[in-house]
Amino acid sequence: MRVGLIAHDTKKAALVAFVARHRDRFARHELWATGHTGQKVAAETGLAVHALMPGPMGGDQQMGSRIAQGEIDVLFFFRDPLFAHPHEPDVSALLRVCDVRDIPVATNPATAEWVVRAL
């Protein structure tokens, strides 16, 4: 499967820890991530990660494009709902295209624990 990984700055450590905890499952799949998230996941886990641009610099849109083209099968997007993000329209568009393309999305660790079992 092709797995998308995104995390807001305040959630990057949680996503990296999550991927590290489930490293064996993620190692069997093709990983795609926005810039800084991908760099951190690769550095901490040793997994190969295709890195897009950073989210605010167009990476969210790149991930959305991959989803729209059928090139991502599942998305783990650890969001920070308590912080205003200047690229919120990009985030909304990304989540919308996931709904349109019927892509499973985990936006928090509790949901991610359920979704990772399907990998």
Catalytic residues: 60
Report the Cα–Cα distance between both ends of the chain, in Å, rounded. 8
- Inter-helix orientation angle 88-101/59-68, to 10°: 10
d(C-alpha 6, C-alpha 35), whole Å: 9
- For the chain, strand residue ranges (E) read 2-7, 30-33, 49-51, 74-78, 105-106
